[in-house]
């Protein structure tokens, strides 16, 4: 029986009844189990207390999830304002060094929504706190509706960059995506290349040009009802294939 790859997912830190909890949205761990046929493993956001090299030693890939929180602006040279909130500084303290270590080790990396923003910041880029307030931009925020299928419904098209990693995975030049976010890439990190854009030129996907392996970030939510969307399945399956190959190279 073929060994299933182990995929590490950094947690968010949330407060409940005055206590801190490490949490991951159910749709992310289910997508890893269903579409990637892999084993999701929580990485607690302990900052310097987390031994990142030790944690990565047993993993075959890393998935950075979306979150209600934003990357703290101090990590990209800006002052914190109400527009930048809410924050999760424990997650920042974990994911930013984790990204660098993951890339250095050559582990497959898949970053979703906040995860893509973390990827850009970790590699030297900056973010817009409220892209919908910029002239000529679409309103990318989640619709205020009780129905999750409306909240996570397809919002707009994206144009895939020919020759990019996402273009190779999708086998198409256009796609419809469920992109919903406040923040967005402002200055692109030097090591990243654009893999897709929205009709308003908002960057919707990136790849790490000099990565030793698979390293893709998307601004939308392929994890939501992942098995219902062919592009989402294709991305997760490619990520899983890269993770299995990594594990085999490690002799696992």
Residue 22's CB is within 10 A of a number of other CB atoms, namely 17
Verify whether residue 133 is a known catalytic residue.
no
Asked if 235 and 169 touch (Cβ cutoff 8 Å), the reply is yes
Q: In sequence order, what DSSP letters do the residues of 19-88 get, joined into one string? A: EEEEE--HHHHHHHHHTS--EEEEE---GGGS-HHHHHHT-SEEEEPP-SSB--GGGGT----GGG--B-
Q: Considering 72, 84, 221, 242, which one is annotated as catalytic?
A: 221
Q: Considering 118, 204, 207, 223, which one is annotated as catalytic?
A: 223
Tokens 């790490």 belong to 208
Q: Considering 12, 72, 84, 113, which one is annotated as catalytic?
A: 113
Verify whether residue 223 is a known catalytic residue.
yes
User: Cα 113–119–120 angle (5° rounding)?
Assistant: 95
Verify whether residue 113 is a known catalytic residue.
yes
- For 151, list phi and psi in degrees, rounded to 5: -60, -45
Asked if 45 and 10 touch (Cβ cutoff 8 Å), the reply is yes
The candidate with the shortest Cα–Cα distance to 132, out of 81, 87, 176, 183, is: 183
User: Cα 54–58–60 angle (5° rounding)?
Assistant: 125
Cite the active site residues. Answer: 113, 221, 223
């Amino acid at each position: 029986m073929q060994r299933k790859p182990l995929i590490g997912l950094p947690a968010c830190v949330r407060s409940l009844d005055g206590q801190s909890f490490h949490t991951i949205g159910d749709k992310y761990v289910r997508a890893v189990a269903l579409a990637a046929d892999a084993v999701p493993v929580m990485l607690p956001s302990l900052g310097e207390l987390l031994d990142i090299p030790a944690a990565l030693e047993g993993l075959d890939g890393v998935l950075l999830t979306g979150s209600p929180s934003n990357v703290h602006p101090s990590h990209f040279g800006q002052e914190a304002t109400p527009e930048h909130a809410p924050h999760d500084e424990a997650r920042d303290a974990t994911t930013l060094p984790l990204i660098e270590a993951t890339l250095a080790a050559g582990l497959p990396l898949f970053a979703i929504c906040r995860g893509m923003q973390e990827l850009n910041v970790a590699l030297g880029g900056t973010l817009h706190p409220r892209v919908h307030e910029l002239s000529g931009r679409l309103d990318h925020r989640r619709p205020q509706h009780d129905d999750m299928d409306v909240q996570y419904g397809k919002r707009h098209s994206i144009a895939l960059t020919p020759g990019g990693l996402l273009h190779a995975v999708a086998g198409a030049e256009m796609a419809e995506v469920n992109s919903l976010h406040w923040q967005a890439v402002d200055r692109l990190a030097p090591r990243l290349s654009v893999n897709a854009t929205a009709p308003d030129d908002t960057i919707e996907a990136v790849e790490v040009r000099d990565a030793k392996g698979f390293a893709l970030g998307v601004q939308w939510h392929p994890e939501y009802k992942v098995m219902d969307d062919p592009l989402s399945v294709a991305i997760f399956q490619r990520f899983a294939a890269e993770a299995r190959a990594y594990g085999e190279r490690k002799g696992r």
